[in-house]
A and B are shown apart, each in its own frame.
Chain A
Amino acid sequence: MKATEPLQVIDSKGGVNGYDPGLSEDELMHCYRTMLAVRAFDAICLKLQRSGRIGFSIPNEGIEATQVGAASAMKKTDWIFPSYRDFGMALYHGVKPVDMMHNMFGNASDNSRGRQMPVHFTFVEPIKFVSISSPIGTHLPQAVGAAFAAQRRGEDMVALCSFGDGGTSSLGFHSALNFAGVWKAPVVFLCQNNGWAISCPAEEQTASDGFAIKADAYGMPGVVVDGNDLLAVRKAVVEATEAARAGKGPTLIEAKTFRMGGHSTSDDPSGYVPKEVFDEWRKKDPIKRFETYLAASGLWTPEKRAELEKEVDAEVSAAAKDAQAVGPPPLETVFSDVYAEIPAHIRAQGQAAFDLATRKGDAQSGGGEFPL
């Protein structure tokens, strides 16, 4: 792949060359704090996974600026169609860490009733953070449809659709960009090019010069940004949402970044990512990058970081503790929400499961009357 120079805003000294991010001091600090919260959340999930208390998690380290920079451009009336590696988008918009932790534990308080794997969040408040599906690429055309519906219904809504470099190879990517281009749908496609799709390098996904260039073929602008520069990501996404709101249609943004961990807590990247690549990207840490900007603006000191880290650590630890204390979902949740109304054959299977639990014993459910 040839290198397309990505858009950058924060320079090596923390300067922004006159760019106005349009964020108050509080909002800037909220961006910063959210990135720290993502890192704290990651750290505790790793611990929980290693000690067998949750089954799985997805590391976000290295991607925080892309997540938070993009989220900061979205209004509460917008919709986010996230990937599974977008913790920062939820946290930025005020999703409570404990509500994410309920999903990590798959407990009775989880919005998806413990049906989904960890990191497959679903929220409707405080922003539409659409239920995450595992099959890669399926949510892209759905984002186009939701944005189309908003247009038809006269709503001020832009859909932010996030996916990986690997996701660009899916059928959904090509259908979605094609439809969005034809319909001029208000969608921002955010390709998080973190270099890898599990163990497959981005070069194995495409022979084109990066991913943004694919926008050309679908009749929309394509923009490459430095994904470790929060303000650059924000700038690109703000411009894309403005165009979308003005009826000019979709944009494809490629954020170049790097996954500083394994694909998941079950993956060891040392077998396929050369160590030097990690060393190089460690120097480009997105949180440090943003600190140089905050410091240059008089908003940051090392003590500030320590103070905020303490806060977010306490918050996510408490969230983990609270979520761990909640028991598993009750047996009837296996049978509910399949349809709006439970059909007779599923009801019968539920009753049989309860009867068997009564007859043959069951570690978790007491049996009794099937409640639905």
Chain B
Amino acid sequence: MPTLTLIQAVNDGLHTSMKEDPSVHVFGEDVAKKGGVFLATENLETEFGTERCFNTPLSEDGIIGTAIGMAMNGLRPVAEIQFQDFIFPAFDQIVSEAAKLRYRSGGQYTAPMVIRTPYGGGIRGGLYHSQSGEAYFCHTPGLKVVIPSTPYDAKGLLIASIADPDPVLFLEPKALYRSVKGEVPEGHYTVDLSTTRDVREGGDVTVFCYGAMVPVCTKAAESAAEGGIETHVVDLRTLLPLDEEAVLDAVKRTGRVVVVHEAPRFCGFGAEISAMIAEHAIEYMEAPVIRVTGFDTPFPNTLEHHYMPDHRRVLDAIEHVYNF
């Protein structure tokens, strides 16, 4: 089985879907000849031609609006937004249109499409090349929100997202693009949306995380193990619709929970998990839920390593809930 980086796995997933399904079209800024600024779409134009992989004018609103129209009329658009930070001109198209089309037309019109975009910090990108905006989109009924953290999942989840009948926002942790490698089967396979992944087993503490926080949490869990604390690390990988059952099962096994994300804390995804626990599993809890998150500030540049949760902060939280 070939060993690929996460970005190569994304490329492989696009390639596989384009080969299987002639209705799949890949477009966005700089995706054609350049292959995207991170090279996710490398060689797709060469292999499938400019009809299937093409550049657009510099307008995210235009990219997503036209993708919705294509999806309505039988194509499978896979639109790239160069950085998640630049998705906001398309917020209206995503939130008002793609996410609501099925509902408002009684299912007569739908928008099966994928929006791929790199998100998160770790590249010294400052305010506008680092953000984690998943919470804005998780607050949008009708949308699916998927975040892989391994090459295997990146390809399998992407192929599943492209085949999905609903619009999917596919957030790619750019910090992991080249820093993680893993075995990836050739050709077609899928990873089901709305399933979680057990990264590491442990009976003392449960850590929920996704994206670039998965390796950070794994490292923290290993450090905790050296101190005798066994941590169950769960990669949520589809935030919306979330596999609530799997989450609550994991909560009940330890009663001690840490939730980790890079995005700001206030109204972040961690708040949803915490509320879910408060509503459905409070009687199992041995300690308060602790959130380890980005600060409620914009994303800084020089001091980004302070902003992003690191293994120090996660370990501190694991120890805190364990010793509570």
Contact = CB atoms under 8 A, between A and B. Distances in A.
Nearest to A198: B30
Contacts of B298: 115, 338
A136 interface: yes
Interface stretch (B18-26, B126-134, B171-179, B234-242): B126-134
B204 interface: no
B301 A356 contact: no
Interface stretch (A35-43, A187-195, A199-207, A290-298): A199-207
A56 B124 contact: yes
A205 B300 contact: no
A156 B86 CA distance: 35
Most buried by B among A117, A136, A338, A353: A117
A287 B296 CA distance: 47
Contacts of A353: 295, 306
Contacts of B303: 114, 328-329, 331, 333-334, 364
Interface stretch (B51-59, B137-145, B275-283): B51-59
Contact of A135 (B88, B266, B306): B88
B301 A116 contact: yes
A346 interface: yes
A74 to B, nearest CB: 26
Contacts of A115: 126-127, 298, 300-302
Nearest to B37: A198
Most buried by B among A135, A271, A329, A359: A135
Interface in A154-177: 166-167, 169-171
A243 interface: no
Nearest to B123: A55
Contact of B30 (A169, A200, A331, A338): A200
B295 A335 contact: yes
Interface string A348-372: 0110010010011100110000000
A204 B57 contact: yes
A275 interface: no
B61 interface: yes
Interface residues on B, range: 35 or more
A113 B302 CA distance: 9
Contacts of B57: 166, 169, 200, 204-206
A117 B86 contact: no
A358 B298 CA distance: 24
Given A106-B302, A114-B301, A365-B306, A272 B33 contact: yes
A364 B86 CA distance: 31
Contacts of A334: 295, 297, 300, 303, 306-307
Contacts of B316: 356, 359-360
B29 A356 contact: no
A23 B243 CA distance: 70
A83 to B, nearest CB: 13
Interface string A225-243: 0000000000000000000
A345 B296 contact: yes
Contact of A120 (B62, B126, B302): B126
A116 B85 CA distance: 14
Given A116-B126, A199-B33, A349 B295 contact: yes
Main secondary structure, interface of A, reads: loop
A133 interface: yes
Most buried by A among B61, B303, B313, B315: B303
A93 B30 CA distance: 34
B30 A199 contact: yes
Interface string B58-69: 110110000000
B122 to A, nearest CB: 12
A148 to B, nearest CB: 22
Contacts of A365: 306
Contacts of B34: 198-199, 271-272
A10 B260 CA distance: 61
A57 interface: no
B89 interface: yes
Contacts of B37: 198, 266-267
A115 B30 CA distance: 27
Given A116-B127, A198-B37, A338-B297, A349 B58 contact: no
Contacts of A4: none
B123 to A, nearest CB: 8
B125 interface: yes
B252 interface: no
A197 interface: yes
A272 B33 CA distance: 7
Given A199-B33, A356-B312, A356-B313, A169 B296 contact: no
Contacts of A167: 58
A134 interface: yes
A5 B312 CA distance: 62
**Which 3 pairs between the two chains have the least Cβ-Cβ distance?**
A114-B302, A134-B128, A199-B34
5 contacts: A117-B129, A197-B29, A198-B34, A335-B295, A364-B303
Given A169-B62, A199-B30, A206-B57, 6 more contacts: A113-B300, A135-B89, A137-B89, A328-B302, A329-B302, A364-B305
